Amino acid sequence: MRVFRDLSELENIENAVITIGSFDGVHIGHQKIISRLKQLSNETNSENFLITFDPHPRSVIYPKDKTLRLLSSRKEKIALFEKYGLDNVVIIPFTIEFSQISAQEYIEKFLVKYFKPKYIVIGYDHKFGINRSGDLQLLNSVKNKYGFEVIEIPKQEIDEITISSTKIRNAIINGNLSGANTLLNHPYSLSGKVIYGRKLGTEIGFPTANLKPEEPKKLIPKDGIYACKIEINGDVYKGMLYIGDIPTIGTDNPKSIEVNIFDFDQDIYGERISVKILRFLREDQKFEGLNDLKKQLKKDRESAIDFFRTYEDLVNANTSIVILNYNTKHYLETFLPSVSFSSQKPFDTIVIDNASSDESVKFVNDWFPEVKTIELNQNHGFAKGYNLGLNEINSKYLVLLNSDVEVTPNWLDPLIDYLDTNDDCAAVMPKIRSLENKDAFEYAGAAGGFIDIFGYPFCRGRIFDTVENDTGQYDNPKEIFWASGAALVIKKDVFNKLGGFDDDYFAHHEEIDLCWRIHNAGYKIMVLPESTVYHVGGGTLNYGNSRKIYLNFRNSLYTLFKNESILNLIFKVPCRLALDGIAAIKFLFSGEVKSTLAVLKAHFSFYGQFLSLLKKRKKLKSQIKNTSIGSPNKNGMVRLSIIWNYYIKRKKKYSDIFKD
How many other β-carbons are positioned within 10 Å of the β-carbon of residue 329?
19
- Residue 317 in this model has a pLDDT that exceeds 80: no
Per-residue pLDDT of 207-242, as tens digits, reads: 999 999 999 999 999 999 999 999 999 999 999 999
Among candidate residues 343, 298, 344, the one with its CA nearest the CA of residue 321: 343
d(CA 156, CA 124): 9
Whole-number pLDDT of residue 91 = 95
d(CA 457, CA 454): 9
- Residue 660 in this model has a pLDDT that exceeds 80: no
Q: Which residues neighbour 70 within 8 Å (Cβ) at sequence distance 6 or greater?
A: 24, 25, 56, 215, 217, 218, 219
- pLDDT band at residue 276 under the 50/70/90 scheme: very high
d(CA 571, CA 218): 71
CATH of the domain spanning 187-310, picked from 3.30.70.260, 3.40.50.2300, 2.40.30.30, 2.40.50.140: 2.40.30.30
Taking the model in full, what pTM does it have? 0.71
Is CATH 3.10.20.30 what the domain over 2-161 is classified as, yes or no?
A: no
How many other β-carbons are positioned within 10 Å of the β-carbon of residue 365?
19
- pLDDT band at residue 311 under the 50/70/90 scheme: confident
Phi and psi of 541, rounded to 5°? -160, 120
Q: Please tell me what DSSP assigns to residue 470.
A: -
- pLDDT band at residue 543 under the 50/70/90 scheme: low
d(CA 230, CA 211): 11
- Residue 256 in this model has a pLDDT that exceeds 90: yes
How many other β-carbons are positioned within 10 Å of the β-carbon of residue 153?
21
Sheet holding 449-451, edge to edge: 449-451, 457-459, 462-463, 466-467
Q: What burial letters (b/e) apply to 438-467, b meaning 16+ CB within 10 Å?
A: eebbbbbbbbbbbbbbbbbbbbbbbbeeeb
- Residue 316 in this model has a pLDDT that exceeds 60: no
- pLDDT band at residue 205 under the 50/70/90 scheme: confident
Say whether 280 sits in a helix, a strand or coil.
Answer: strand
Per-residue pLDDT of 399-413, as tens digits, reads: 999 999 999 999 999
d(CA 25, CA 638): 56
d(CA 217, CA 212): 12
Per-residue pLDDT of 258-268, as tens digits, reads: 999 999 989 99
- pLDDT band at residue 640 under the 50/70/90 scheme: very high
CA atoms within 13 A on the CB side of 299: 8
d(CA 218, CA 168): 13
- Residue 540 in this model has a pLDDT that exceeds 60: no
Whole-number pLDDT of residue 429 = 98
Domain boundaries, the chain: 2-161, 187-310, 319-657
Q: Which residues neighbour 596 within 8 Å (Cβ) at sequence distance 6 or greater?
A: 584, 585, 587, 588
Overall average pLDDT of the 628-641 stretch: 95
What is the dihedral sign for C-alpha 431, 433, 439, 443? negative
Beta strands in 456-610 (DSSP E): 457-459, 462-463, 466-467, 478-480, 487-491, 524-535
Among candidate residues 480, 538, 532, 539, the one with its CA nearest the CA of residue 511: 480
Q: Which residues neighbour 119 within 8 Å (Cβ) at sequence distance 6 or greater?
A: 17, 18, 40, 44, 46, 148, 149, 150, 151
Cis peptide before 55 (omega within 30 of 0): yes
- Residue 152 in this model has a pLDDT that exceeds 90: no
Overall average pLDDT of the 589-606 stretch: 90
Query: HEC states along 13-51?
Result: CCCEEEEECCCCCCCHHHHHHHHHHHHHHHHHCCCEEEE
Specify burial of residue 313 (Cβ count, 10 A radius: 0-12, 13-18, 19+): exposed
Per-residue pLDDT of 433-492, as tens digits, reads: 999 999 999 998 999 999 999 999 999 999 999 999 999 999 999 999 999 999 999 999
Whole-number pLDDT of residue 626 = 93
Beta bridge mates, 49: 18, 88
d(CA 452, CA 455): 5
Whole-number pLDDT of residue 544 = 58
d(CA 25, CA 31): 10
- Residue 387 in this model has a pLDDT that exceeds 50: yes
Overall average pLDDT of the 537-558 stretch: 76
Q: Please tell me what DSSP assigns to residue 645.
A: I
Per-residue pLDDT of 54-88, as tens digits, reads: 999 889 888 888 899 999 999 999 999 999 889 99
Whole-number pLDDT of residue 314 = 44
- Residue 313 in this model has a pLDDT that exceeds 80: no
Is CATH 3.90.550.10 what the domain over 319-657 is classified as, yes or no?
A: yes
Residue 347 host element (H or E): strand 347-353
- pLDDT band at residue 42 under the 50/70/90 scheme: confident
Specify burial of residue 418 (Cβ count, 10 A radius: 0-12, 13-18, 19+): middle
- Residue 649 in this model has a pLDDT that exceeds 90: yes
Q: Please tell me what DSSP assigns to residue 124.
A: T
User: Is residue 317 within 8 Å of residue 531, measured between CB atoms?
Assistant: no
Per-residue pLDDT of 160-199, as tens digits, reads: 777 778 899 999 999 999 889 988 989 999 999 999 988 8
Whole-number pLDDT of residue 539 = 47
Report in angstroms the alpha-carbon separations of 174 from 37, 178, 179, 211, 222. 33, 11, 10, 21, 6
Per-residue pLDDT of 326-365, as tens digits, reads: 999 999 999 999 999 999 888 999 999 999 999 999 999 8
Beta strands in 154-208 (DSSP E): 188-195
CA atoms within 13 A on the CB side of 521: 30
pLDDT: which is higher, 125 or 589 = 589
Among candidate residues 180, 161, 154, 156, the one with its CA nearest the CA of residue 169: 180
The angle at the Cα of 174, spanning 219 to 196, to the nearest 5 degrees, equals: 45
d(CA 124, CA 158): 8
Which ranges of 279-411 does DSSP label H, i.e. alpha helix? Answer: 290-310, 329-339, 360-367, 381-390
Beta strands in 435-486 (DSSP E): 449-451, 457-459, 462-463, 466-467, 478-480
d(CA 427, CA 505): 20
